Chains A and B, each alone.
Chain A
Amino acid sequence: MATEVLKTKAEQELAQQFETGMPNLPGSDVGWTKAMREAAWQTYAAAGLPHRRVEEWKYTDLRALLKDAYPPAPALGEALTAENIDAALGEHVAALDCHRIVIVNGHFREELSDLDGIGGQVEVRSLSEALSDPSDWLQNTLGQVAPQDGDVIASLNAALMTGGVIVRVAAEAKLEKPLHLIHVAAVKDAAGLATRNIVDVGADAAVTLLESYTGHGAIPVQRNAVTELVAGDKADVHHIKLQNDNAHTAHLSTWMTRLGTRASYRAFQFSTGADVARNQIFVQFAGEGGLSHVSGAVLSRGKQHDDTTMVIDHAVPECESREFFKLVLDDDARGIVQCKVNVQRDAQKSDGHQIAHGLMLSETAEFDSKPELEIFADDVVCGHGSTSGQVDEDLLFYLRARGIPEPQARALLIEAFIGEALEKIERDDVREAFSALTSSWLKGE
């Protein structure tokens, strides 16, 4: 006799959404899209929402954290102006000189976007349209860039996604200004959002892709955002995320990246918003001589929970991976960094190193760091390190002895701590914007 696994309220609501909502999802009348969604749903449903007994989720028990599954957000969302978008981004990020690609509740909003001067180099298309008319390329790409078998969040996303964009950067294109994907949640009532970006960077192309996740207003949101990114041979990609969702947001984010031969991938995630955030980053080396440097800064306070979980897969020889994260945790905040580095049997001369530092500003903050190395090749260099501590009293005394009052001295040291992570961002304009966000955060803004 088969026993039915007891589903939580949120899981039951998700099942209801899928059953009744399927006909309204983009591409539901198209065979390939429908089959893809159903297969993804099955993968999700076999496991349900992840909980603490699933090793990868031991610190982030979604089954406990998500009491309800909010109904899907209306596709069009609120009517927003360019000023609303700037306000949602905040002055420092809004001031960045970028090609803007604005996505409100998953819907690509061309009238709010600014793609002047990139014709012939970059093609941007709405994913919801593409799902209704899936090209061979899409069928061969979606969900297959760096597949994570059984990742329930990415599967749930594939089953329920309503939109996002496809960005294709032509081979050898060199873009001066960043492409800024601005994902804004704009809802009247508590809502769920499932969006996906597919980014295809051609061989020898150079591009900075900045993704901002933010909200218009303070209505609770459950966001499930996926970005699949292919970097072609010798492509040079800077991939940066700003997570500044409103304080009532559950932010689930998954990056799946595949790197071609001698491709260079420098990723950075700056996380300061949301109530609960799970940032998944999966990088797969598919060609020899690739480079992946993934870094990030996390600023959390109150009861915020921020989990960054990475899996770096050295599938081929002679690739270099670095992970460097810094977290500032105040009040009852909890920060988590997990990073698993796989070195496969043939991946000789792999070079991997990961570091995570937590700076605790209160007695009740918590930092969990879990490095994992799985090495099957015998000629590799791999290492890891992690520290957690408080603001150094000797440094504080030195600054105060020079006349700097304690709160200012403390802020200077925290900025310096985060600054070492921000240094990993090669673009001065983005680094300075994030530095300004850090200063604002320290002032409680």
Chain B
Amino acid sequence: MLEIKNLHVKIADEDAEILKGIDLTIPKGEVHAIMGPNGSGKSTLAYVLAGKEDYEITEGSIHWNGEDVTEMEPDERAAAGVFLAFQYPIEIPGVATMTFLRTAMNALRKARGEDELSTPDFMRIVKEKAKELGVADDKLKRPLNVGFSGGEKKRQEILQMSLLEPTLCVLDETDSGLDIDALKIVADGVNRLRGDDRAMLVITHYQRLLNYIVPDQVHVLSDGKIARSGGKELALELEESGYAEFGEQAA
């Protein structure tokens, strides 16, 4: 279970608070969506969960499966099962995708006290998952994300998620930059990972993604606080009314 209590966050070296007291609980087996206008703090919440050092927690706590993660390094959080699918996946020239995947998988196995994967096992697993997500072989041979389109990068994120098998999946605007076909493939990949042992936090600006990844609960983030929570129908309501009542000016 993910338990966030009274979370206050600011950017290190700056004064202004971005998150102003968030309370959020996601039991295992559930998918929660966070929606909200631009600048409401959605991506900040995602980064803080993954442990990015640019942010400072000034108050409150984050517990995952009863463990306080706020003092953990990003790699320790990954070992504890936390995974962030980035809004803007990073290109890493010179690091072959396969080398990266193998290093990450083995690092997690090591942290969990498991043996490293053999080369044939590794290859088999990667090929299988890549096929499910429509990731072509030649993409696996290239340096990580270099020259990939927005959609290809998002698929890589979901491929990594399928391979690393995290228990807390945080998806930060995974739908941005995807056409409808790519959105379906990505959503299918995410849905395959839904299960009783896993909690998911899906961050999105638009309701569209939630047609394919149907959430158990929807929360609206506004000015660093959860302004409203409800069932999946809340997303549809927002699609109708927009975020005007949550402080975003109409364009």
Contacts and interface: CB of A to CB of B under 8 A. Distances in A.
B23 interface: no
Contacts of A405: 73, 75, 107
A402 B78 contact: yes
A128 to B, nearest CB: 44
Contacts of B103: 404, 408, 412
B94 A397 contact: no
A61 interface: no
Interface stretch (B48-56, B132-140, B176-184, B234-242): B48-56
Interface stretch (B3-11, B37-45, B85-93, B209-217): B85-93
A398 B164 CA distance: 14
A398 B108 contact: no
A403 B78 contact: yes
Interface string B108-132: 1001000000000000000000000
A401 interface: yes
Interface in B38-78: 50-53, 73-75, 77-78
B95 A413 contact: yes
Interface string A178-205: 0000000000000000000000000000
Given A408-B103, A413-B92, A403 B79 contact: yes
A404 B92 contact: no
A393 B103 CA distance: 19
B104 interface: yes
Contacts of B164: 402-403
B52 to A, nearest CB: 6
Nearest to A422: B94
Interface in A374-410: 393-395, 397-406, 408-409
B174 interface: no
Contacts of B53: 393, 397
Q: Which of B94, B104, B160 has the most CB of A within 10 A?
A: B94
A347 B86 CA distance: 51
A78 interface: no
A77 interface: no
B36 to A, nearest CB: 22
A110 interface: no
Contacts of A415: 94-95
Q: How many of chain B's residues touch chain A, expressed as a range?
A: 20 to 34
B92 to A, nearest CB: 6
A246 B86 CA distance: 46
A402 B103 CA distance: 9
Contacts of A403: 75, 78-79, 104, 107-108, 111, 164
Contacts of B92: 395, 398-399, 413, 416
Nearest to A416: B94
A385 B63 CA distance: 48
Most chain A beta-carbon contacts within 10 A, residue among B51, B52, B83, B160? B52
A419 interface: yes
A393 B100 CA distance: 17
Contacts of A397: 50, 52-53, 74
Contacts of A402: 75, 78, 100, 104, 107, 160, 164
Nearest to A326: B94
B84 interface: yes
B144 to A, nearest CB: 9
A394 B90 contact: yes
A420 B160 contact: no
* Central interface residue in B74, B107, B143, by most chain A CB within 10 Å: B74
A417 interface: yes
B94 A420 contact: yes
B60 to A, nearest CB: 21
B108 A401 contact: no
A430 B111 CA distance: 34
A426 B213 CA distance: 47
B107 A408 contact: yes
A405 B76 CA distance: 8
Nearest to A420: B94
A433 B89 CA distance: 32
B113 to A, nearest CB: 14
A419 B94 contact: yes
Contact of B75 (A404, A412, A417): A404
A402 B79 CA distance: 8
Contact of A398 (B86, B94, B111): B86
Contacts of B75: 400-406, 409
A408 B52 CA distance: 18
Contacts of A400: 51, 73-75, 78
A399 B86 CA distance: 12
Contacts of B99: 412
B95 A412 contact: yes
A276 to B, nearest CB: 29
Contacts of A393: 53
Given A397-B53, A397-B74, A404 B93 contact: no
A406 B95 contact: no
A401 B94 contact: no
Contacts of A409: 75
A16 B143 CA distance: 57
Closest 6 CB pairs of A and B: A416-B94, A403-B78, A400-B74, A402-B104, A403-B108, A419-B94
29 contacts: A393-B53, A394-B90, A397-B53, A398-B86, A401-B74, A401-B75, A401-B83, A401-B84, A402-B78, A402-B104, A402-B160, A403-B78, A403-B104, A403-B108, A403-B111, A403-B164, A404-B103, A405-B107, A406-B73, A408-B103, A409-B75, A412-B95, A412-B99, A412-B100, A412-B103, A413-B95, A416-B95, A419-B94, A420-B93
